[in-house]
Amino acid sequence: MGPKRVRIVDIVSPQRVSVSKPGSDGYVRTKAQALTRLADLLEHPEAAAVRIRDVLDAREREQSTGIGGGVAVPHGEVAELSQPVGAFLVCREPVAFDAIDGEPVTIFFALVGPKRASAQHLKLLARASRLLRNAAFRSELATAESAPDAYRLIAAQEEGRP
């Protein structure tokens, strides 16, 4: 039996997915608000949201994690964590995020993990990148009406179902 395939749905629960729409509570309009929302989604008994936000901010100061195509992948290592944790934020109204292509961001996948698991961290980032490379999937995810709808789309895409 070969090594277990790295899956995003193993680290992202439905509670770690959020859809931001105009008029909704906590509507995300800025990069700072997006990072705060992601840190809140990533909060874990082993690492408070404020600690996670500090890690995400530090990474963004090094270089924007806006990878283009309306996607950003904020990530970092949090020593207190024993396992990686991921979250998705879908913004129905794009957010200026200093992405490499200069375009605003609609889909955020955030990942934090323990320092000692850098190989797993890289595999999860690569897996997310492969999922989000699909333009039709990004388009569908960007118009998700709710967090449960977005999670269902993510899980179906990862399993290879439309």
Q: Identify the active-site residue in 31, 51, 59, 75.
A: 75
Residue 151 main-chain phi, psi, to 5 deg: -65, -45
How many residues would you count in the chain?
162
d(CA 99, CA 77): 21
For the question of residue 75 being annotated catalytic, the response is yes
CB 20 within 8 A of CB 26: yes
Amino acid identity at 64 = S
List residues with catalytic annotation.
Answer: 75
